[in-house]
Amino acid sequence: MSVLRTKPIRDVLAQGSDEGGEPRSRLRRRLGALDLMGFGIGIVIGTGIFTLTGIEAKNHAGPGVVVSFAIGGVVALLAALCYAELAASVPTAGSAYTYAYATMGEIVAWIIGWDLLLEFALGSAVVARGWSGYLADLFGLPSAWFAEEGSVVNLGAIAIVLILGVVATVGIRESARITNLLVLVKVAICVFIVVAGLFLVKATNLSPFIPAAEPAGGGEDGVRQPVTQAIFGLEPSVFGFAGVLTAAAVVFFAYTGFEAVANLGEETRKPRRDLPLGLLGTLLISTVLYIGVSLVVVGMVRYTDIDEGAPIASAFKAAGAGWAAVLVSIAAIAGLTSVILVELVAMGRIGFAIARDGLIPPSIARVHPRWGTPYRISAIVTVGVALLAGFLPLAALADLVSIGALGAFLLVSVAVPTLRRRRPELERPFTVPFSPVLPIVSALACFYLMLNLSVETWLRFLAWMLLGAAIYFGYGHRRNRLARREAGGAGVVPGRRPVEQLGRG
């Protein structure tokens, strides 16, 4: 049995259609373009804008962190174009996992699905701990139960994950309504931060815009240095244009998650029109807000004096507008809440797609008859994320979210020209311009940013991939739907012809 067998496009489309597939494993179409954009902005604008701006400005890029956010936004936009073409052509649950299964083979699909589960699980857990910290600061709650440091168990993180997990499990419309409300709050406050902050910017704080490169401290050598420096034997350094690129690789974390929109293709009323709108609208709005917020932060306070823990609030305080810190905390709590909710929704859909294909036990792909959601896998991922958020200090693992997302984006970029070559007749309501040039540029840009992450991050990523390989070869390789068909025709979707009668399509 080949690890490179592909899932026929006709099977993929039939599973996600209103007529095809099994009723117990078919989701309900309830979302429109604004809902998709709400989910996208809800997950993208979160911890990155409230924490990474200060960390990367102070440690790697200085005011050049504005350029870092711009670079990250361009790379994310290239990947979003690729996602938009595939999502409009193959509007089903699973996003990158499903696209890879139809174009590059089963083992690649498993790798990307396992990779996405890592991205969303760690991302939501990291954000949940950040949410708990902001809540403690705003209401003076005991740090022993809510803070990142000094707590054995983070009750705040566990509570918010469990509450939002119930929302994600009960219904997609309920999740959309809550997300849209939270997005309105945080976008309005982000716009206020930019407009009010522009009046407090001092030109002297922006000079030099890209500080001269200097040798890194002891924390940037060995496995903590970027892979590019380790490969070429360069002396570990910070700032300069190399620092801007390193910061771009890290702040890319702030753009991760927009692909969650593509996971909702099977629940979108008009997916071929609305999925590209949701994906590209999310990235354009988020990039503009990120660049604006990072500019006013490094403009209000000298980058060397930025408070890494609360860069926006501390910048307003330094500029004599401490009253704005309360608004920032409210925006942070609203922003992080929507991130956790959308991450949990996305994880459920990815796990649902993988289980429906039989790569993990298919019984957990059951859709609730009344709620219309994959309730079993949603409950499982909720409990898993709650345990991660409550008991593990995950700050050091945040870069794994970036490398996981970049790996997924790279493979999606490769999938666009691959699918065009294999299925030129497939209806494509949206197409990436200048293909295959832009998809190739997108793949190379993602890989280059991956190389700017630390050796330590790569080693952790490799360990996760090895665990996934053990699960795949121990279970999924022989027990999935395609394997059962090869073994004797079992697993054919009821009411449809066997795959051999469908040809290669």
- Give the mean pLDDT of 376-388: 93
Would you mind telling me the total number of residues written for the chain in this entry? Answer: 505
Among the listed residues 75, 293, 318, the one whose alpha carbon sits nearest the alpha carbon of residue 198: 293
Minimum mean pLDDT range among 273-277, 382-386, 451-455: 451-455
Judge residue 166's burial from the number of C-beta atoms within 10 Å of its C-beta, 0-12 exposed, 13-18 middle, 19 or more buried.
middle
Question: What is this structure's pTM?
Answer: 0.80
- With a cut of 70, say whether residue 490 has pLDDT above it: no
43 within 8 A of 257, measured Cβ to Cβ: yes
Helix (H, G, I), strand (E, B) or coil at 226: strand
| pLDDT class of 492 with cuts at 50, 70, 90 | very low
| pLDDT class of 100 with cuts at 50, 70, 90 | confident
Amino acid at the residue 258: F
CATH of the domain at 386: 1.20.1740.10
Residue 457 forms part of a structural domain: yes
- With a cut of 90, say whether residue 466 has pLDDT above it: yes
Q: What is the model's pLDDT at position 151?
A: 60
- What domain range is 23 assigned to? 9-495
pLDDT tens figures, 225-270: 777 777 776 666 778 888 898 888 888 878 877 888 888 888 888 8
Residue 500 forms part of a structural domain: no
**Those residues with Cβ within 8 angstroms of residue 473's Cβ, 6 or more apart along the chain or in another chain:** none
- With a cut of 90, say whether residue 176 has pLDDT above it: no
- With a cut of 50, say whether residue 497 has pLDDT above it: no
- With a cut of 80, say whether residue 353 has pLDDT above it: yes
Residue 504 forms part of a structural domain: no
Distance CA 93, CA 275 (A): 12
- On the question of a cis peptide bond just before residue 436, with omega within 30 degrees of 0, the verdict is yes
- Give the mean pLDDT of 29-52: 82
H-state helical runs in 301-422: 311-318, 324-356, 375-391, 398-422
Distance CA 160, CA 386 (A): 8
Output the furthest CA–CA distance in the chain (Å, rounded).
74
Distance CA 11, CA 447 (A): 31
State the angle between helix axes of 106-139 and 455-471 in degrees (0 to 180), rounded to the nearest 10: 120
H-state helical runs in 233-302: 240-251, 271-300
Q: What is the model's pLDDT at position 147?
A: 60
Provide the token pair at 232.
Answer: 């070429």
Residue 438 forms part of a structural domain: yes
> Which region holds residue 233: left if phi is over 0, alpha if psi is between -120 and 50, else beta?
left
Residue 467 forms part of a structural domain: yes
Minimum mean pLDDT range among 149-153, 274-278, 347-351: 149-153
Q: What is the model's pLDDT at position 183?
A: 87
- Give the mean pLDDT of 87-114: 86
- On the question of a cis peptide bond just before residue 208, with omega within 30 degrees of 0, the verdict is yes
Q: What is the model's pLDDT at position 119?
A: 84
- Give the mean pLDDT of 85-93: 85
Tell me the pLDDT of the chain averaged across its residues. Answer: 82
Among the listed residues 258, 276, 257, the one whose alpha carbon sits nearest the alpha carbon of residue 90: 276
pLDDT tens figures, 7-24: 888 887 776 565 545 555
Cα torsion at 442, 43, 57, 77 (round to 10°)?
20
> Which region holds residue 119: left if phi is over 0, alpha if psi is between -120 and 50, else beta?
alpha
- In the chain, count H helices and then E strands: 21, 2
Provide the token pair at 7.
Answer: 């899932």
Among the listed residues 379, 389, 360, 378, the one whose alpha carbon sits nearest the alpha carbon of residue 154: 389
Distance CA 212, CA 238 (A): 9
pLDDT tens figures, 133-164: 778 777 777 766 666 555 678 888 999 999 99
Q: What is the model's pLDDT at position 503?
A: 36
Question: How many structural domains is the chain composed of?
Answer: 1
**Those residues with Cβ within 8 angstroms of residue 314's Cβ, 6 or more apart along the chain or in another chain:** 54, 301, 306, 307
| pLDDT class of 489 with cuts at 50, 70, 90 | low
Distance CA 365, CA 372 (A): 12
Higher pLDDT, 489 or 113: 113
Among the listed residues 494, 415, 314, the one whose alpha carbon sits nearest the alpha carbon of residue 111: 415
pLDDT tens figures, 389-415: 888 766 566 678 888 888 888 989 999
Provide the token pair at 201.
Answer: 């910017």
Burial per residue of 286-323, b for 16 or more beta-carbon CB atoms within 10 angstroms, e otherwise: bbebbbbbbbbbbbbbbbeebeeebbbbbbbbbbeeee
Q: What is the model's pLDDT at position 107?
A: 92
Residue 211 forms part of a structural domain: yes
Residue 505 forms part of a structural domain: no
Residue 212 forms part of a structural domain: yes
DSSP 8-state assignment for residue 304 = G
- With a cut of 90, say whether residue 123 has pLDDT above it: no
Q: What is the model's pLDDT at position 236?
A: 65
Distance CA 338, CA 282 (A): 14
